[in-house]
Amino acid sequence: MDRPAPRPSRLPHAAGFAAGKRQIPRKPLLTTLVRCRKLPPTPACFQMKGDFLMLYTGPAFSAAALGDGIVELKFDLAGDTVNKLNQVALQDFDKATQAIAKDSSVKGVIVTSAKPVFIVGADVTEFTGMFAAGEESVAKGVLEVNRMLCRFEDLPFPTVAAINGICLGGGLELALACDYRVMSTAASAGFPEVKLGIFPGFGGSVACRA
């Protein structure tokens, strides 16, 4: 499986989107996940969890090497029954992305959810404080999240979102940041925030056209 053609940038002037950067040849992405018991020597900065080499572990995301260069980026927000993109999760996603980017052995990433839903969207309980901070602060925060997704899009190998359930708002925008998406029959996706007069702020209006 090769990466698709480059999509329109959510940040046209952002660093890292030079013409042709994403045109380099890609190696095929495995379509079957396997448990790998014969792992290479564990670097001091990594951890082992069962049979898997952990590239990153945080309060919301973990990155586990499954073998053959495939990494599972799992969303499992601690202390909550669903996955939502609050500030903790967003910062953790970015840290996980940067940890994966530093590993030259990675050939592909599969984004999964450890909960019955994929991602329900942003944390609406944070909206009041965000809007009270003023327009400039809101714009700065939205731009930073777009930069996080750009860093993920810029990973030099195929990325796949395995959508197992509800995938809404910012969750769909994160899925759209992947090169490919696969959905279970129980999954649903959309931008329900538009019914509240809220524009998809993480680049979804651009990514869904690509």
> Which residues have a catalytic role annotated?
122, 170, 173, 193
- Could you tell me where the beta strands, DSSP code E, fall in 117-172? 159-163, 166-168
At 101, list the tokens.
Answer: 């980017």
Length of the chain: 210
Report which residue type is found at 74. Answer: K
What does each C-alpha distance from 200 to 117, 133, 168 come to in angstroms?
A: 20, 19, 10
Q: Are 45 and 54 in contact (CB under 8 A)?
A: no
